[in-house]
Chains A and B, each alone.
Chain A
Amino acid sequence: MTCLKLTSFIHFRFLPLLLAAGVALLALTAPAAPRKPSDDSEVLERLPTRAGDASARELLALRAAMAAAANDPLPAARLAQRYFELAMARGDPRYVGYAEAVIAGFPEPLPPELLSIRGMLRQYRHGFQAALDDFAAALARNPQLAQAHAWRAAIFLVQANYAAAQQECAALQALGKTILQASCRGLALAYGGQLAAGYGALQQALASSRDPDNRLWLLTRLGEVAAWRGQSKRAEEHYREALSIGRDDGYLLAAWSDFLLDSGRPAEVLRELADWESSDTLLLRLAEAAALENAPDAARLAQTLDDRFAAARQRGDTTHRAEEARYALHLRKDPASAVRLAAENYAVQREPRDARILLEAAIAAGDPAAAQPARDWLRDSGFEDQRLRELGQKSAPGPAQAASRAGAPR
């Protein structure tokens, strides 16, 4: 019996060797990765824009305008802003780098228009304090810069500092920016525990907004708030109306996909996101849906995502920890890593979705202490989403655990 056990154990231990041998053979016979194509007509890469595209022509014109007026900040601001919008729409961070380079080409001190854009770029990289400083400096030079107030409000919302966010909303009101003000207040109210009031403010903003980009943003946030209130049907109507505007928007697609995943409709996510593998945030949703559906390419999608996270780590990029936590929890089934990543993320970003992944990961890892900051937020904000409240209760240490913790020597 012992002998049998020993053999089976050894068989198992022998496997790596056999595999190693096979793999080494493969490695020896497989061509090395870098290669020399033999055919001049072989297509190596497809660019995101073609020379004749409207967006390529627009960028060309903006670049030419900037080159023609080297010391004028306005053409540079327009080009940087356009790059930033492209980054948002396509989920492509290269455009953020292009925008930063445009601004870096200007001597300090920067004019307020460029300071404000640099603030946007810095918040994109989660340099929240530096971004707040840029916006404050821009406002000191030009108090009329509503955009800077709106961004400061957005950052305070991410940091769960709702009082500070409300101050920025008030500043927008003072500047007469009613739509921006209502959007700002709607979110601050919703995050701060008053979903119905927040929903009303966002609807009020929507009613007076004609600009399709603004409408898309408001409808997306209305969809989120409706879903938090448990009004799935209404949430879906908002999302569908936002989608019908017909503009690429990574945030909308991510929110819509999360809604579908929460509603047990992964098959629709597979359809909606089929062409969006290139964006990390959307690839995460796609891979989750594929795993739930047992889709044939589920393993490939998860592996691709893993490679992306590895590539980001290699360059020291930590802005994707919330997504990586979700990947670790749902796809790699590694709650310990998930809770670590989610806690690191929560130290920087504290939106409801950040609290949710922290709570979920802590429950899966059986680590109630890790979720304490998220429970504190739920208590302090009074955030009303039923799902999150239940997660908060479930993640709390049980009476036995609490007792043993209290009794443990410190």
Chain B
Amino acid sequence: MSLRHVPFRLPALLLFFVLLVLAPLASAHKASDSYLILEVNGREVSGQWDIALRDIDFALGLDVDGNGEITWGELRARQPDIDAWALGRLGLQRGGACRIRVADHLVDTHTDGAYAVLQLSGECPRADAELSISYRLLFELDALHRGLLRLTLDGSSHSAVLAPDRAEQRFVAGESSRLAQFGQYLVEGIWHIWIGFDHILFLLALLLPAVLVHENGGWRGVARFRDALHEVLWVVTAFTVAHSITLSLAALGLIQLPSRLVESAIAASVVLAAANNLKPLVEGRRWLVAFAFGLIHGFGFASVLAELGLPQQALVLSLLGFNLGVEVGQLAIVAVFLPLAYALRNTGFYRRGVFIGGSLATLTIALVWLLERAFDLKLTGG
């Protein structure tokens, strides 16, 4: 059952994470930690603070009926007290004290049991000063308590352990090295193409016919690997150039398109690319298709980047990192796809199963997306 030995990185890690979250966790004994995740962008603060119910009970007494069990009702009844207690022990300063409030209350589980999750939001007086965090939660009751901080400050990541002798810590945006930041956005870019199905499907739909030649109303395999490689290079380069242009324009705020339009157009691009495999209209100039629709996909990447937030002081570098990451992710897909497709190009499995079947499946999925996005429907679960 263990997946630890599976020899790949990112996906396996994520799978692990998913299993971890879904698996029922046995309560363990460990020293007390709270998990503080903060994102500070300019004046804006958002975040999440996970505090163990056992610790809250020790500080405030949650088990009102004394049966040794803490219910959601018991926790809910004390939420105002918990907020006041916790926020009174966390101070953020950026050009003066930041005002923090608890936007919502959730629960979660860590290795040692159930946690209250306080979702935080707030604002600071200034957008560009250094950030100082002072943390005093539980220290007067439990000297081994630690606050495990993960901070994103204007796009740069920091982590710290907040302890009684290190209760106040200062952070300067951009203090983590430029290179680290570049690397971080590179990884985000790779990650995004890997989980961005619409982009992968679009690319695959264009690449599927690269190892085939359409002749006399039928398909046959290309004679030489070079031919397939040539086609793939043109398609990928065109796609890359196009989406780099629009990604940069949108990320720098020079062009804005409504996201529903962009998302619908991306779905439409997948529909058309897949349909073209089933009933070829555009041949030989697939790179033009890749370029035209690549412009649209660039806007899609840009919306992800907007969610991540670009650090103002390293805008171009981060943008470049993200873009390169997307390319690396893309190349990884091509590197796997192309030799495989080439090896299988003359088999019925590839022509009927992968090429026709795959294109049909892609067409269907993309049509559903198109309907959903264009008409704001919810056809699939999730």
Report which A residues bind B (CB closer than 8 A). 3, 6-7, 10-11, 13-17, 19-21, 23-24, 26-30, 33-37, 39-53, 90-94, 96-98, 100-101, 103-105, 125, 277-280, 283, 299-300, 302-304, 306-308, 311-312, 314-317, 332
Chain B interface residue count: which class? 35 or more
Known: A37-B107, A93-B29, A332-B4. A300 touches B23 (CB 8 A): yes
B12, B15, B21, B53: which contacts A44 (Cβ < 8 A)? B53
Chain B residues with Cβ under 8 A from A33's Cβ? 21, 108-109
Given contacts A30-B22, A37-B72, A101-B142, 13 further A-B contacts (CB under 8 A): A3-B343, A14-B336, A15-B8, A28-B382, A30-B21, A40-B76, A41-B73, A45-B57, A47-B69, A48-B54, A93-B29, A98-B142, A308-B30
* Cα(A244)–Cα(B54), bound, Å: 32
* Cα(A37)–Cα(B116), bound, Å: 11
Interface assignment of B379: CB less than 8 Å from any CB of chain A: no
A/B interface sample: 12 pairs, CB < 8 A: A16-B8, A23-B14, A30-B21, A34-B108, A34-B117, A35-B106, A41-B71, A47-B63, A94-B32, A94-B54, A98-B141, A315-B33
Report which B residues bind A (CB closer than 8 A). 1-2, 4, 8, 10-12, 14-15, 18, 20-23, 25-33, 48, 50, 53-55, 57-58, 63, 66-73, 75-76, 104-114, 117, 119, 139-146, 148, 161, 164, 194-195, 197, 200, 333, 336, 339-340, 343-344, 381-382
* Cα(A8)–Cα(B172), bound, Å: 50
B31 and A94 contacting across the interface, CB-CB below 8 Å: yes
Chain A residues with Cβ under 8 A from B141's Cβ? 98, 101
* Cα(A70)–Cα(B324), bound, Å: 63
Chain B residues with Cβ under 8 A from A23's Cβ? 11, 14-15, 18
A6, A44, A277, A283: which contacts B71 (Cβ < 8 A)? A44
The CB with the most chain A CB atoms within 10 A, among B21, B29, B69, is that of B29
* Cα(A29)–Cα(B380), bound, Å: 10
Chain A residues with Cβ under 8 A from B73's Cβ? 40-41
Chain A residues with Cβ under 8 A from B381's Cβ? 29
A307 and B71 contacting across the interface, CB-CB below 8 Å: no
- Rounded to whole Å, the gap between the CB of B65 and the closest CB of chain A is 9
* Cα(A324)–Cα(B58), bound, Å: 30
* Cα(A57)–Cα(B110), bound, Å: 28
Q: Which residue of B lies closest to A282 (CB)?
A: B29
A40 and B28 contacting across the interface, CB-CB below 8 Å: no
B1 and A14 contacting across the interface, CB-CB below 8 Å: no
* Cα(A316)–Cα(B69), bound, Å: 31
B33 and A314 contacting across the interface, CB-CB below 8 Å: yes
- Rounded to whole Å, the gap between the CB of B205 and the closest CB of chain A is 15
Chain A residues with Cβ under 8 A from B76's Cβ? 40
A42, A91, A105, A300: which contacts B29 (Cβ < 8 A)? A91
A10 and B340 contacting across the interface, CB-CB below 8 Å: yes
- Rounded to whole Å, the gap between the CB of A351 and the closest CB of chain B is 22
* Cα(A45)–Cα(B116), bound, Å: 11
* Cα(A129)–Cα(B28), bound, Å: 29
A45 and B28 contacting across the interface, CB-CB below 8 Å: no
Known: A278-B28, A312-B30, A316-B161. A42 touches B71 (CB 8 A): yes
- Rounded to whole Å, the gap between the CB of B184 and the closest CB of chain A is 19
A17 and B31 contacting across the interface, CB-CB below 8 Å: no
In the A-B complex, the 8 residue pairs with the smallest Cβ-Cβ separation, listed nearest first, are A97-B144, A40-B73, A51-B66, A100-B143, A20-B11, A50-B68, A97-B142, A299-B1
B144 and A93 contacting across the interface, CB-CB below 8 Å: yes
* Cα(A332)–Cα(B2), bound, Å: 10
Q: Which residue of A lies closest to B33 (CB)?
A: A315
A29 and B31 contacting across the interface, CB-CB below 8 Å: no
- Rounded to whole Å, the gap between the CB of B111 and the closest CB of chain A is 5
A24, A94, A315: which contacts B142 (Cβ < 8 A)? A94
Q: Which residue of A lies closest to B57 (CB)?
A: A47
Q: Which residue of B lies closest to A7 (CB)?
A: B343
A21 and B197 contacting across the interface, CB-CB below 8 Å: yes
B32 and A97 contacting across the interface, CB-CB below 8 Å: yes
Chain B residues with Cβ under 8 A from A52's Cβ? 66
B32 and A10 contacting across the interface, CB-CB below 8 Å: no
* Cα(A57)–Cα(B96), bound, Å: 45
Chain B residues with Cβ under 8 A from A307's Cβ? 20, 25, 111
A17 and B336 contacting across the interface, CB-CB below 8 Å: yes
Chain B residues with Cβ under 8 A from A91's Cβ? 29
* Cα(A7)–Cα(B53), bound, Å: 53
B68 and A49 contacting across the interface, CB-CB below 8 Å: yes
B29 and A90 contacting across the interface, CB-CB below 8 Å: yes
- Rounded to whole Å, the gap between the CB of B142 and the closest CB of chain A is 4
* Cα(A314)–Cα(B35), bound, Å: 11
Chain B residues with Cβ under 8 A from A332's Cβ? 4
Chain B residues with Cβ under 8 A from A41's Cβ? 71-73
Chain B residues with Cβ under 8 A from A300's Cβ? 1, 23
B18, B29, B30: which contacts A27 (Cβ < 8 A)? B18
* Cα(A299)–Cα(B5), bound, Å: 13
Q: Which residue of B lies closest to A40 (CB)?
A: B73
B1 and A36 contacting across the interface, CB-CB below 8 Å: no
- Rounded to whole Å, the gap between the CB of A24 and the closest CB of chain B is 4
Chain A residues with Cβ under 8 A from B33's Cβ? 311, 314-315
- Rounded to whole Å, the gap between the CB of A121 and the closest CB of chain B is 8
B164 and A104 contacting across the interface, CB-CB below 8 Å: yes
Chain B residues with Cβ under 8 A from A45's Cβ? 27, 53-54, 57, 69-70, 113-114
* Cα(A14)–Cα(B11), bound, Å: 12
Q: Which residue of B lies closest to A47 (CB)?
A: B68
- Rounded to whole Å, the gap between the CB of A59 and the closest CB of chain B is 10
- Rounded to whole Å, the gap between the CB of A91 and the closest CB of chain B is 6
Chain A residues with Cβ under 8 A from B63's Cβ? 47, 50-51
Q: Which residue of A lies closest to B72 (CB)?
A: A37
* Cα(A15)–Cα(B25), bound, Å: 28
Q: Which residue of B lies closest to A27 (CB)?
A: B18
B14 and A10 contacting across the interface, CB-CB below 8 Å: no
* Cα(A306)–Cα(B20), bound, Å: 11
The CB with the most chain B CB atoms within 10 A, among A16, A39, A43, A103, is that of A16
